[in-house]
Structure 1
Amino acid sequence: MEHDGKAIPVTISTGVADTSGPNASFEQLFAEADRALYLAKRSGRNCFRRLPQIRLVHEAGAEEGGEKGDGKRQLA
């Protein structure tokens, strides 16, 4: 990047979070991305961190060999 004819080095650190399914809210996704951003900033400059996918536990959780879901957030 240039400013007043001088090159200015620019770096970026970012946090990434992803989710699938209809039950994850924007607020949850935003909070996870924010947490990933601060993990990236603590790791140094010019990097990114991606958090595991958010999975909401459903009543169908027993299908995966688990117990009935309680609707709380869990990391997949």
Structure 2
Amino acid sequence: MKLIGFESAKDFVMSIDGVFKFKNKVRIPNDVKLNRLVLKERHISRLSIHSGMNKMYQDLKDSFWWSDMKHDVA
């Protein structure tokens, strides 16, 4: 992984396969359509147990990050 060039961005890295990450989570851009697509795919996944907003948020935050994610999940 390669660190991005600013001290204030120390938690952001670009992996060798070109994926932008924040604290080792895939960084999703602030794009309403893309955010909703991630939420929809997570919600309809066969691996998903529909146990509510808090569980969905906890599961998502292990792999993804975007600004205001908790609000979007709610």
TM-score interval w.r.t. the shorter chain? under 0.3
TM-score (normalizing by structure 1): 0.24
Find the structure with the greater CA-based Rg. Answer: 1
| Higher helix residue share | 2
TM-score (normalizing by structure 2): 0.25
Greater relative contact order (Cα < 8 A, sep 6+): 1
